[in-house]
Structure 1
Amino acid sequence: MAEVQGRLTPQTGFIVAAASDFVRFDQATFIDFYQPLLSPTALGLFYALQSQLKPDPMLTKRQAHSIMLDRLNLGIAQFAEARNALEGVEMLQTFYQQDEIGGVFVYVLQPTMTPEEFINDDLLSVRLLQQIGEQRFNELVAHSRRYQFDTSRMHNLTHDYFEVFKPDRAAWDAERPTLNNARATAVQKSNSIKAVPQNDFDFGLLLSRLENRGVDLQSVKDQRRLILTESLMYGIGALEMADLVFDATDFRTSMLQPNILKQRIAAKYAGTLRQNDDPAPVVAAGDENLDGLGETERNLIKVARENSPNDFLAGIKQSVGAAYVSPNERNTVLRMIENSGMPNEVINILINYMFVEKEYTTLKSGLADGIINAWTKAGVKTAADAIREIKKHRKSNEKQAGAKPRRRYYSSGRSNINEELPEWAKHPEKVKNKKPSAEKLAKIDQMLAELNQQKNNPGTKK
């Protein structure tokens, strides 16, 4: 991610542009495939941005964000969260620069994928499957292919260009300058960045387990990104993944079927604690500096390192008496795994912070993004680093306990609305946290005991 982070205020300027291939945008595909992944706010923001498209966009024609905030009745934090969601599903790219007039954002609308491209996208298709369920997902797949016909066993008699047309070289040379000029003045499309998730998953072991089992190994290698993402999300080891891949293979062709693999994994793990004794990959404990951390904090680190984010989230929600893990929460965790580069243990400490210290009942996507960004800037690499960062800000805030936090408002003809991002996200040094009470520390101890009991006795539920 770029180092430049544009500051968003109601007065910050913006313009809207469209990618060169935005003509591919299909309304039906957007509603069927993208809408289930977006909140009503994010959906409204997309259409509001689309309505701002004007011919020949120029920075000198910028407008203030207050126009969009008023129109959608949003604060800055809500707007930023909706914008992030559109970026996450690749319907929007955001650019920023500072000039003599001030900061300005350029929002570039992106086209929808074709249904087939969406189905073959490892990340978006998994998220959609989790969100709408297998039955509805299969209905969308069937609907998108309703006009297709398998011609793979037929002879292709289609004529190519040179069989139909006889090019005139002289005419082509005469028109060449015009064509070259059109190509040279085209705006190049910025490609989205999709990093392969990093973890300790042993892909070589997976391939060796699948040898001589009738599975085309190249088809498995082609789905490396999907397999790594799913293993990170649910803490699936190589041996267990081998069985899942085997079950998702079409043995008429020996090819791994990625959609079947997604369905198998979603059905087995989504929203539940794992029922397998294989531990998630663990970073060597001896490499982590635990100086200055108490026994409770060390126990928390141990649990954070031994559980996948999916297990940890499900377990901690049970421990604090919250409801089940929602699809949106699973999506938030999956997005943090894919985009942040943080190890699982750090994401688990973030989950603990939000549910135990902040006492939220749901995983708040916008706040989670803000914390991850703050920790990235602070150089957080391990669970211990994350706990020290929390303690550092807590200590700093105790010195400012008498100071009132500053709030900024904008007027829109209605009641004033706090338009700042969460304090942790924008000014981590000013967060007002209380030192944990004895009661809260006892709650943490109880939570740790319950998480360990659930891990050691998978069939036991609270």
Structure 2
Amino acid sequence: MKDNWKEVHPKSIFQSAIAYPLSDQEQAILTLLYQPIIGAKAFSLYWTLLSEVTETGVSESLFHADLITMLDMSIQEIQAARRKLEGIGLLGTFVKNDNELGPQFLYRLNHPETVERFFKDEVLSLTLLNCVGQRKLDKLFDRFKPKYTNLTGFEDISAGFKDVYLFKEEQIISQNNQLRQMEQAFSDPRPAQKLSAVNESFDWAYFIQGIEKLGIKLPDNSVGFKEEVFVFHNLFGITELDMIEFCSKSFDYYTSKIDVKDFERAVYRTYDPDKKQKASQFQTNDSVELSAEDQQTYRYNSLKLNGFSTQDIQMIMDSEKNFPLNYLEALKNERGGYTTPQERSLVKYLVSKSGLPNSVINVLINYVYNIQKQPTLKADYVNRIANEWAQSGIFSPEKAIDHVREIAKKGKEQKQSRQRYGQNNRPIRQETLPDWVENPVEEQKLSKEEQARLDKEIQDFLSKGGGN
């Protein structure tokens, strides 16, 4: 019967149904946790089917032509969207044949998992991770995780139920039939289903034999671990032998059981490794042997000859002798602010993943904080800049400064070009600027007096050695 979808055509009849309305929390879960996985088309199909359901729990009979019109999608696109909903457990499709009307479809909409079950499900959590990335997953988890109140030092003085309400135990017997009927009404007749990532291309039996030969045992939650193995196999193409190798480095020596967290870390270290930072690139005098102090003097003079101002040079030197977190904290402290946990995490991520030298990361921080006037570092924006700089080979602070100024110059020229285009109606070729330039965080323009005062503040700050 699963092939009956091939018989669907615009005149095929369907109904949609759901047991009870979605709560506000479930709507948020669908939008923020499921939509990144299933995509916009499947998300739209779910809500369209849901919108047709009446108070009876079932929609009127509709033609698939109605779906095509409402969604502006072809039958093939609706099929693909339907399969995504089915695969993740949000939709059950049923069909029956009518001698006169042909196949009739019933689309049973399922409620999303609760937040707790979603994040405890290895398949769902890892699938979301692979769709949105680690930083976004962390943000979503922080949003949905329970916020338990610390009750240390408090005493519970709440009244009990029987202290307030009258309850007659004998009613349990006299009203037994009605109570049982109400209980059964909320019992879902569907068998509980757990999403599975099982892939027949992975030989599970061979994998088990391999770890048993090494004296290694599966973890207590062997079913969940099996799903995780299949997810990693599908995601990275890890073979049975490589998976055995990961397990051989990730087990508890006392129990001989696989440590799931160590196993995950071993996989991610291999397939999502930290990026080795490039060394800061700058001109040195190798023709003669110079002391470190003399090299600094040579570097200062080289920068001066290349047109950098004294203030530029001070910032460059300062960026090279400070770690990014210390640099950021110094900038924040100077203005009376503080570094947020999210900013600390972002800076650590840049250091481990971007490959940019610390000095370039510091210039980036300075650009966002001092030039763009942002009170905090926003992960999406900062990562867009870091990606563009890494791909452009910007591995020295002076290159970063030159790049920012060149981008600003091109932006100004483009603005003037657009104005000229509006005056004489003649097209002018324009070079596309990086996304972080075209879509920056809102920037405040300063007067000449404010800019001069700010420049002096930065110069005074940098002359103190960056807050060290």
TM-score (structure 1 length as normaliser): 0.47
Q: Kindly indicate whether structure 1 or structure 2 has the higher relative contact order, using CA contacts under 8 Å at least 6 residues apart.
A: 1
